[in-house]
Structure 1
């Protein structure tokens, strides 16, 4: 529409135009660097575009990097599955400012807890992980670390309003104070995000609310930072498809949970409002830097996280209410000593966090929403982590050498499970107060595991344009705690206390030995960065048959390996146009067959694991034309198998996205930015996620989730 206030023949003067997005010469797909592991960094410009209109999921922002497989049930980043070099969600170390602000079990976690507008960069480490990083429940397939956008030196405000398909709406505001009293600066931010599901009834996200603050300052050489986040995250679940339904996506892609109750519990457990989750998460973390000498510095980084809420799932003609309320707290202490062209770090990481997992508090509800009984009541001690580490890096001539050693004590929790026959609909704490020793069904003690985690690597510059890098590192993952959720079933099978204790102690941490060899070459306007890798994974969690006990249970007894090649390529045509590509080939397979229920053999050896593509490719470009910035993106995901014997598969697909932006600079630090984008531009029907275990067999064991259809977004941002 044209305003009637503009008359024909009038000269219209627009404000000066400054293009929004990546800086000149900055590629969306970045080459790898670092002596240890294969490390890549995604900066603000790429986060703004690839993070999507919702700016919630860090995994969307890194989705173009080689070896990164990000798939989603929705267009808003709320229901994401992420694999790095084929390894699944539970193996990825999620960090914020190097800290593992993530519990275990259901809940929000870092995948949707942070507004990406408050993130300056995201670093991704694949393969070996340096000793001074990768803290938390595991880092076997690498580390994703978000770096906070610090408070600005000057007073500034940002207001953003976005709209889109499925009644998507997002409001975001941030206020930076500038320097206060000559020693400190701070920011506060808030956001509200809401959208309908793209199919069925319900919302995802459902009125997500996020508040954050940051404060940093320095007095003489003492430095201090503190940050806090509150996140209220609600969403309705998406219902998956059967394998047969995937054969006719045009008909079944909109299949979802029921929109009304029928009075039949076998149908009403699929009611949409009985399949949802609601969580509140609070976190506070900080950093204190204390100079000891000119070259020696002590850094203390404490953190605290509280995650509480409910996860509802319809199952077996009932509704399971999984109640979560747990705390995580810890700190990283580090002495760093600067040496000539290098640094030596001596540190210690400590963490405790409450279960779940495994599940400690679940109730059965009827499909009328009434309390039926307790599904389980378990009292558990805390998970505990203690880890001293030593890391060093030094440049000698054209070579940069890095090495580190982390020694980890990991303690699994004690668990006491109680008879809940006479318990009513009371809180978890009240229920525990009503049970005693006579009500104990199962009582198992935790175990402390000790892991020796070395890492070593080197890079060498043959010329200013050509360098090679090689590294080795041993990574880890927590034991398969799914065993704990089933231990009551084993009690009902008649196992003795001693047998139950042996079963609980039979689990152990997964470990992997990771080797990377890479090359970086730049010439004029282009770069190429290929990487070869190999990973041997031991103690893989498998649901295996035990002939002595005559049933199957989770055991860390498997062995697998992953190997492949990755490549990032970028070319700058001129200051207005650049393009980049990432290519990935990955094999991830068991090295031996698996014994399943009844002693039958699953022919897993040499077969690609389910939901792991062998081939992936991404292409993107940045084109500045007459003040507009066009960013097309094309993603190719190769064929994936639904079962470990590779008899059933889901075909490959291509998804095209497009973003258009324009920034009007009004004055110094004042601007208006317009952004329009569309995801799945060609409205492709495809299967996004195959929810399958590593040893799934047959076509019907997994659940299949279609990707979102074409989705439009638009936003208006004011900076002043």
Structure 2
């Protein structure tokens, strides 16, 4: 009922906008708007080579990438992968384009993906984790071709950011606005492993009074670089912009996506040593997978198999994949009530159905195969609204109050689907399996999020600006289960609340001369509980409640300088972060098995570091860019269990998966006809265990782009051909760590699978044409 009401209201609002004569009042709209127009050509000269937009005037560390940066990458590349050039951003994926959600991870200043905040046009995307309960991944929320700007706040996001997870930084994506000119933008890509992708966006142009819209369609089929299977995605994006007289503007977007995402096999150092980088699932060899499962269930863990040699029961599962369907609708109204008073209201709606699967050898199908398909299903139905009211008290001083409210009906199930005892799998990789024969659990969550903020921004002089304010947030989670589909060992019910009504943030920006600005800020943040504390046994949940589980919190200090010269821009930033009440989950079994986990607060983390960014425009066409980040992140405490026994001697050890040194270098050329860009990303070694007794060496990845645009007076005008090559030097390296639910306390051969390897050299050719 909630969703129907919201959809009806959105449809009514859209029809009202299109029918309102007042919208025709603004007839002076420019023919093109390079800042927002999707069809506008690349700006000439230095603007085209503005590789990174440094946050001029900001009191926090803020940096942005424009649509040009995404356009130079292979079409369909994850926007998160493009962000990896910014300082302190650690991006990892097993797929060359960063599109496989199981293996894709991003961290900033040592904070993992589920401790960051993400928004699209102000709409909260949750923490973008694989099993996201309150949002969706950016690759599904919008196609990369329609992203106009990506803004990263490495330390703390704005008080207005709608996120309950942003302990660390925030990443805000902004979609392109429709063009004032009618047109069609198309592209087709073909590449390694027979990957292909097509994209088309139709622009209506100005329909009268500045009303304009676009609709786009995308389909991509990106086969895995090893093993069998593919990442397949099709999307429809649409957006409408309509002026509201000369005082405001209405924007509406509606995006739909369907994804079938074949995963890569998780590895251990032992598996990697024995089988190499190309080891993957046994997909299409169902008989061997059944033999492994039969032996495992008969107590034979290790055996020899024809064509493979010696395998353990966990060396090679048959397959694993994810399916997702998402509908995301957002609307915003920005309006000047008076010359001093401005209001913004942005409702949104999101519906998702998803599943992640493994063909498990641990649970046989009754009366059928020795395998079954273990599913983890997700059902999200959420809606909410963000808004603000700002008032210019006097020249240079603005007071703003705002908030965010979301209601979320979220269900998740762990179930098992039967397989026939046959030579091939009887469940397709492109459909949601039906009729489970068993459940571990079926949880139902009612989640309510409340957030408000107050801030004052005051430009005391032309060179001095101060800002200050606070936010408050409360997230209530009520959990119940379906007793007919939940075993006794998982029958947890109850509620948890994370609440802090005063999280302050202050900042200052001082610009003594035009070329130099100094800035500094302090911010406190809290990460609300997720559904993880409930996915356990009733006894464990009772213990969690008795121990007084606390939400994670952070305190961030940062300060630095920005330099703005005619051909050179740079920033130097130092920071210190204290991360308290770190939550640590221990599972007594492997990820493919199902057993209740234990969650506890285990102390704090101290992180300090330096970030340096610089870009130099040698000529209007040629630019150089470099970024360096030094990060010293360590655990302050050992991990103890509820009995006070040592679980991990982590005190003083480096944070897992956090390289101490991150370096990016890039040379870019674009004269309007010829395009060239070479980029190198270096990361020093990363630890894979809490006790730092296993590490993976550093690596340097080189990516290359070359292209040619046709500028002519004939039909070929607007045609562009582009070649992208990733991992040019064919580096062999470990990419994602901890994707299967966490990290090891200490390394021992045969530990559960918990890392991935990166993709080898790949190439992609794209033909683009604008009409």
Task: Report the TM range for the smaller structure's normalisation.
Answer: 0.7 to 0.9
Residues 278 and 460 of structure 1: is their aligned pair in 2 closer, same or farther, counting only changes over 3 Å? same
Q: What SS is found at the alignment partner of 1:446?
A: strand
1:344 aligns with 2:383: no
Structure 2 residue corresponding to 1:521, chosen from 563, 575, 582? 563
Q: Structure 1 regions of 5+ residues with no counterpart?
A: 1-17, 423-437, 546-550
Pick aligned residue for 1:237 from 255, 258, 263: 263
Q: Which residue of 1 aligns with 2:747?
A: 698
Change in Cα spacing, 1:649 to 1:443, as seen in structure 2 (3 Å) is: closer
Give, in angstroms, the shift of residue 31 of structure 1.
3.1
Match of 1:53 among 75, 78, 101: 75
Q: Does 1:39 align with 2:62?
A: yes
Deviation at 1:482, TM superposition (A): 2.2
Q: In the alignment, does 2:390 pair up with 1:362?
A: no
C-alpha change, 1:445 and 1:688, in structure 2 (3 Å) is: closer
Aligned to 1:192: 219
Q: Does 1:69 align with 2:85?
A: no
Asked whether the 8 Å contact 1:473–1:513 carries over to 2, the reply is: yes
**1:121-162 CA deviation, whole Å, 9 max, x = no partner?**
1001121322112x1231112111111100111111101111
Deviation at 1:392, TM superposition (A): 2.1
Provide the residue aligned with 2:235 in structure 1.
210
Q: In the alignment, which residue of structure 2 is the partner of 1:674?
A: 721
- What's the CA shift for 1:414? 2.7
Corresponding position of 1:588? 633
Structure 2 counterparts to residues 151-170 of structure 1, below 5 A? 151-170=178-197
Q: Could you say if the C-alpha distance between residues 272 and 162 of structure 1 is closer, same or farther in structure 2, counting changes exceeding 3 Å?
A: farther
Residues 453 and 141 (structure 1), Cα distance of their counterparts in 2 relative to 1, 3 Å cut: same
1:352-394, Cα deviation, whole Å (9 max, x unpaired):
21235xxx31212345468664333434342111112112212
Residue in structure 2 matched with residue 571 of structure 1 by the alignment: 616
Q: What is residue 374 of structure 2 aligned with on the other side?
A: 320
Counterpart check, 1:617 vs 2:669 = no
1:413-492 → structure 2 map (5 Å cutoff): 413-416=478-481, 418-420=483-485, 441-447=491-497, 449-479=499-529, 481-487=531-537, 490=539
C-alpha contact (below 8 Å) 1:213/1:228 kept by paired residues:
yes
Verify the 8 A CA contact 1:393 1:400 in the aligned structure 2.
yes
Distance 2:680 2:720 in 1: 24
In the alignment, which residue of structure 2 is the partner of 1:548? none
TM-score, length of structure 1 as denominator length: 0.86
Query: What is the rounded CA distance, in whole Å, between the counterparts of 1:650 and 1:643 in structure 2?
Result: 10
| Cα pair 2:442 2:486 within 8 Å, conserved | no
CA distance in 1, matches of 2:80, 2:129: 18
Within the candidate set 678, 683, 691, 1:632 is matched to 678
Cα deviation code 1:632-662 (max 9, x no counterpart): 0011011011112112111111111100112
Deviations 1:652-710 (A, max 9, x none): 11111100112112359951111111001111111111227366322535622111011
**Contact 1:402–1:456 (CA<8 Å) still a contact in 2?**
yes
Structure 2 partner of 1:290: 335
Provide the residue aligned with 1:142 in structure 2: 169
Aligned to 1:502: 545
Render the CA deviation track for 1:594-651: whole Å, top value 9, x for unaligned.
1148712522111111111111101001124794221000110110111121121111
Equivalent-residue separation in structure 2 for 1:594 and 1:464 (angstroms): 50
Match of 2:646 among 594, 600, 625: 600
Deviations 1:316-336 (A, max 9, x none): 344311122211210012112
Contact 1:289/1:298 (8 A) holds in 2: yes
1:512 aligns with 2:559: no
Aligned to 2:585: 543
| Contact persistence 2:440–2:486 (CA under 8 A) | no
**Distance in 2 (alpha carbons) for counterparts of 1:565 and 1:521:** 16
Structure 1: how far apart are the matches of 2:439 and 2:202?
46
| SS of 1:574 mapped into structure 2 | coil
Q: 1:166 Cα deviation (Å)?
A: 1.2
CA 1:478/1:21 → structure 2, altered by over 3 Å: closer, same or farther? farther
Say whether the 8 Å CA contact 1:32–1:529 is kept in structure 2.
no
- Indicate the SS of the match to 1:705: strand
Between 699-708 and 586-595, the greater mean CA deviation after superposition = 699-708
In structure 2, what is the Cα distance between the partners aligned to 1:86 and 1:557?
17
Contact residue 176 and residue 188 of structure 1 kept, 8 A: yes
1:120 aligns with 2:148: yes
Cα deviations by residue, 1:176-222 (Å, 9 ceiling, x for unpaired): 1111132411110000000110000111x22x110011111123224
Determine the structure 1 residue equivalent to 2:34: none
Is the contact between residue 569 and residue 615 of structure 2 (CA under 8 Å) also seen in structure 1? yes
C-alpha separation in 2, matches of 1:643 and 1:459: 40
- 1:15-34 matches, cutoff 5 A: 23-24=46-47, 26-34=49-57
Q: Distance in 2 between matches of 1:473 and 1:702?
A: 37
Which residue in 2 is equivalent to 1:92? Answer: 116
Q: Given the alignment of the two structures, is residue 380 of structure 1 paired with residue 423 of structure 2, yes or no?
A: no
Asked if the contact 1:522–1:528 (Cα under 8 Å) also holds between the matched residues in 2, the reply is yes
Using a 3 Å threshold, how does the CA distance of structure 1 residues 218 and 667 change in structure 2: closer, same or farther?
farther
Report whether the alignment pairs 1:261 with 2:311: no
Aligned-pair CA distance for 1:23: 4.8
Q: Is 1:396 aligned to residue 422 of structure 2?
A: no
**Shift of residue 462 of structure 1?**
1.9
Q: Distance in 1 between matches of 2:544 and 2:68?
A: 52
Corresponding pairs, count = 665
Deviations 1:539-571 (A, max 9, x none): 1102379xxxxx982023421111111100112
Contact 2:418 2:437 in 1 (8 A): no
For residues 484-508 of structure 1, the C-alpha deviation after alignment (integer angstroms, 9 at most, x for no partner) is 11235x47xxx9xxx36825x8333
- Say if 1:507 and 1:111 are closer, same or farther in 2 by CA, change over 3 A: farther
After TM superposition, the structure 1 stretch with the greater mean CA deviation from structure 2, 70-79 or 413-422, is 413-422
User: How has the CA–CA distance of structure 1 residues 89 and 519 changed in structure 2, closer, same or farther, with 3 Å as cutoff?
Assistant: same
Alpha-carbon distance in structure 2 between the residues aligned to 1:441 and 1:42: 46
Moved more, 600-609 or 621-630: 621-630
CA positional deviation for 1:33: 4.0
CA distance in 1, matches of 2:175, 2:403: 22
Q: Any idea what SS the aligned residue of 1:306 has?
A: strand
Q: Which has the higher strand share?
A: 1
Q: Please name the residue that 1:407 is paired with.
A: 472
Residues 130 and 391 in structure 1, CA contact (< 8 A), matched pair in contact too: no
1:642 and 2:688 are equivalent in the alignment: yes
Tell whether the 8 Å contact from 2:606 to 2:633 is kept in structure 1 after alignment: yes
Aligned residues of 1:449 and 1:508 also touching (Cα < 8 A) = no
Q: Equivalents in 2 of 1:563, 1:467: separation in Å?
A: 22
Q: Structure 2: which 5+ runs fail to align?
A: 1-40, 297-311, 364-371, 421-425, 428-434, 588-595
Structure 1 residues 660, 283: CA separation in 2 closer, same or farther (over 3 Å shift)? same
The 1:19/1:676 distance shift into structure 2, 3 A limit, reads: farther
